[in-house]
Amino acid sequence: MKHTHTLSGAALLAVLGVALAVPTATKAEANPWASKGSVEFDKDTSDSGDITVPDTDTDITITEPTPNTEDKDMKINAATDLDFDKHTDLYDGKAKEYKAKKFSTTNKENDEVIEMQHFVRFQDYRATTDHKYTVSAAMTSPFTNNGMVLEQASIIYNNLRTLTSKKDANQDLIPVGTATGAVTLTSDGASQTFVTNTDPKKGFGQFDLLFGTNETAEDSVKLSIPAGVTIAKGVYTADITWTIADVPAAE
């Protein structure tokens, strides 16, 4: 038993001796090296700036409204003219409300007549992380006919919607804050806001502010004239000025 015990001890020492003889592995020294990646973007010069039919899945180009050709990242691209039709009740002195006719234009390729709801097209392609802005309008010149003014006449806009103007655009970027009720432009020239985009991450792109649908177009923009206003024979015209402006950051 004693011999056996001695052999066992000798064998253990031999094993330990082998273990102690194995050299320790050396950790490799880090030697980092940097590489680069790059990507370049430029404006799409193939975009002619022509106006297309809003709220459709087509790319039909139309002759009117006239496009704004200024080379600006933030701008009003176009706005439809309003036609409140011809009327003969100019002598009764009563309050009046007239509906705007659908906007009528033609297909640029084949001269086909196209009717649609009124709209304003605008864009914000600024290279910024904050796309907060407003879209507003004012009646900068009241309805006038040879010096005769339709006193206190106003234009009332209803059924406001904002959609992307390009069918393949990201719908998640549509600006927030489109007015939910009626917006009225008065003859005193006061500015009214139609869109207040308060989300800095939305509103990047090109959009259409629509007044109704093709079905509700004639109920979505109206001219209101109060009672007692003197009306002369002839055509009255007014100027409506649309503006898009960024919202300054709070100090």
Res 234: pLDDT? 96
State yes or no: cis peptide before 226, omega within 30 of 0: no
**Predicted structure pTM score:** 0.84
Structure tokens at 213: 């649908």
Could you read off the pLDDT of 51-103 as tens digits, one per residue?
999 999 888 999 999 999 999 999 999 999 999 999 998 889 999 999 999 99
Could you read off the pLDDT of 161-179 as tens digits, one per residue?
999 998 888 999 999 999 9
Distance separating alpha carbons of residues 84 and 81, to the nearest angstrom: 10
Q: Quick one: which of 83, 164, 81 has its CA closest to 121?
A: 164
Structure tokens at 206: 């090109």
Could you read off the pLDDT of 148-161 as tens digits, one per residue?
999 999 999 999 99
Q: Quick one: which of 114, 115, 155, 128 has its CA closest to 242?
A: 155
Could you read off the pLDDT of 8-19 as tens digits, one per residue?
344 333 343 444
Distance separating alpha carbons of residues 204 and 248, to the nearest angstrom: 16
